[in-house]
Amino acid sequence: MTLHGHSIIAGKVTPSDGVTFSITNPATGETLAPVYFETSAALADAALRAADESFDAFRAKFPEQRASLLEAIADQIEALGDSLLQRAHAETGLPMARCTGERGRATGQARLFAKLIRDGSWVEARIDRPQPDRQPLPKPDVRRMMQPIGPVVVFGASNFPFAISVAGTDTISALGAGCPVVVKANPGHPGTCEMIAGAIVKALEQTKMPAGAFSMVQGKGNDIGLALVRHPLTCAVAFTGSLRGGRALFDAAAARPSPVPFYGELGSVNPVFLLPGALKERAEKIAEGFVGALTMGVGQFCTNPGLVFGLQSDGLKAFLEKSTALVKSSAPATMLHAGIFQSFAGGIERFTATKGVQLVAQSESPASKQASQAAATLFSTDSATFEASESLREEVFGPTSIVTHCGGKDDLERIAESLNGQLTASIHGTPDDLREHARLVRILERKAGRIIFNGFGTGIEVCPSMHHGGPYPSSTHSFFTSIGTAAIYRFVRPVCYQGFPDDCLPVAIQNKNSAGAWRMVDGEITQADA
């Protein structure tokens, strides 16, 4: 497949003159063809106008038709074969095995959302039938369901070129809900983005969907992102990336004359709490899991365990000794691009220069700066130093973590209370530990979106009960998830219909339950007709 480097607006390759940018293979430094063209504000406007114009026709499609679209997208992505995997590997440095697995996650979640759309229960249909003879006032016919909100702007993540990018959860859930999507391609893997965008266009054509239901724009600078967020036809924004970039876009969304929801995943240090019983029983086993999570994907996961807290003990000493040995034996690996590598190196320098923080382990194999290779690095400190150093709480994206030695239960609770919002928090313990440290669990319920017992946050299960989001700054809206089928609720809102004739209502809330979906009728959950 020959790449063109241009944006795709409503199914058509749309050239843009002016500023261009290139991408290099992070492992080799080789410049990858072609050059990519920065999208103009005029093209961004055209994409959103096409999305808005297609909205009524797209949302009117039956659930079966939108489900078929999502399945067709999965099929078309798979039809790209190894060429897609090879391009993603060249652009990101991610191993082929990782690329293959992540492609499976992306196509699997598209098919999972297709199943959700067909089921129909997700629209949360509620029907309260009229009671004209009710005293002292008659009861009207009132019905409610979720409806799509309109054009959605999606910013793809750099660390997941398939699962959280052009055809990631954001795009798939929005299309499934009936919302047209305009994707801002991630400049870290623009060729991969272009290939997947082409697959989505083919799927739209195959299922006879409006072409304006999907567009993708290229761009490396900030201007195009801000233009998309500020555009008056944008109804919601989904973003995965850095705190700094995400906050700028979040502020722009809030400052609009008509603010729109901004669902941003901005970063997390994912604290791990090691409780006494677990350390006594299996300190070395916990260390193996910890270092595996720390180094997985070169630490380039939003759920990477960046902080560890444990009570000073022989068990904590054993954990640290085993972790030290494993970190030293781990091999450096190429990060997604030079910019991420440089930020990682800066974070390591900051930790190293902090008084009271000790470097206890680093990959013994030499790392190549030219290949943007990060060496796994482990630090240690005490609770007093940690509490006095605000910078130690800041995320360093990559394979590094700080183990903090705490003096007692009160230290753990006080530190937990001082933490910012997190995507995940992990507790390693026994059932007795959980009972003894029940207050720690209560604290973490207010700090994190997902609390894990005897595990780590990496390796997210894509399923209906998953929640991937947490209090700020881990995400901008902790009520919603960006992973799992509940992600669809970011792009819909409830609409209530009162007194409508049955045949003029949306099909999902008519008397006849033609889809057999679960609905609430007069306060009872049922699949029966109303």
What percent of the chain clears pLDDT 90, i.e. is strictly above it? Answer: 99
Q: Kindly state the tokens that stand for 220.
A: 């490396």
pLDDT 10s digits, 47-76: 999 999 999 999 999 999 999 999 999 999
Question: CA 424 from chain center: how many Å?
Answer: 13
Give the tens place of pLDDT for each residue, 440-493: 999 999 999 999 999 999 999 999 999 999 999 999 999 999 999 999 999 999
Q: How buried is 216 (Cβ within 10 angstroms: 0-12 exposed, 13-18 middle, 19+ buried)?
A: buried
The pLDDT assigned to 137 comes to 96
Among residues 302, 395, 406, 413, the one annotated as catalytic is 302
For residues 432 and 278, the answer to whether their CB atoms sit within 8 Å is no
Domains in the chain and their CATH numbers? 7-131+140-266+481-490 (3.40.605.10), 272-453 (3.40.309.10)
Cis peptide before 161 (omega within 30 of 0): no
> Can you give the pLDDT at residue 16?
83
Pairing of strands 12-14, 519-521: unpaired
Q: Please give the pLDDT value at position 514.
A: 94
- pLDDT reported for residue 507: 97
pLDDT tens-digit readout, 271-303? 999 999 999 999 999 999 999 999 999 999 999
Q: Which of 71, 194, 265, 395 is catalytic?
A: 265
Instruction: Name beta bridge partners: 382.
Output: 405
pLDDT at position 17, please? 80
pLDDT tens per residue across span 196-209: 999 999 999 999 99
Computed from CA positions of residues 358, 363, 364, 370, in that sequence, does the dihedral angle turn out positive or negative?
A: negative
Tokens of 131: 């009671």
- 3-class DSSP assignment, residue 333: strand
Determine the Cα–Cα distance for residues 259 and 235; give it in Å rounded to an integer.
9
**Residue 265 known to be catalytic:** yes
Residue the block writes with tokens 């939108």: 66
- pLDDT of residue 18 exceeding 90, the answer is no
Task: List Cα–Cα distances, 167 to 45, 143, 162, 429, in angstroms.
Answer: 22, 33, 6, 38
- Name the residue type at position 6: H
394 as an active site residue: the answer is no
Please check whether residue 49 is in contact with residue 213, taking contact to mean a CB–CB distance below 8 angstroms: no
- In three-state secondary structure terms, 76 is helix
pLDDT in tens, 228-248: 999 999 999 999 999 999 999
Taking only the tens place, the pLDDT of each residue in 298-353 is 999 999 999 999 999 999 999 999 999 999 999 999 999 999 999 999 999 999 99
Instruction: Please say whether the dihedral angle defined by the alpha carbons of residues 159, 160, 164 and 165, taken in this order, is positive or negative.
Output: positive
3-state secondary structure of 331: coil
Categorize the per-residue pLDDT at 1 as very low, low, confident or very high, splitting at 50, 70 and 90: confident
- How high does pLDDT run on average in the chain? 97
d(CA 24, CA 31): 4
Which pTM does this prediction carry? 0.97
Residue 221: pLDDT band with limits 50, 70, 90: confident
Peptide bond into 34 cis (omega under 30): yes
Residue partners of 82: CB distance under 8 A and separation at least 6? none
Q: What is the DSSP string of 78-112?
A: HHTTHHHHHHHHHHH---HHHHHHHHHHHHHHHHH
Residue, of 18 and 456, whose pLDDT is higher: 456
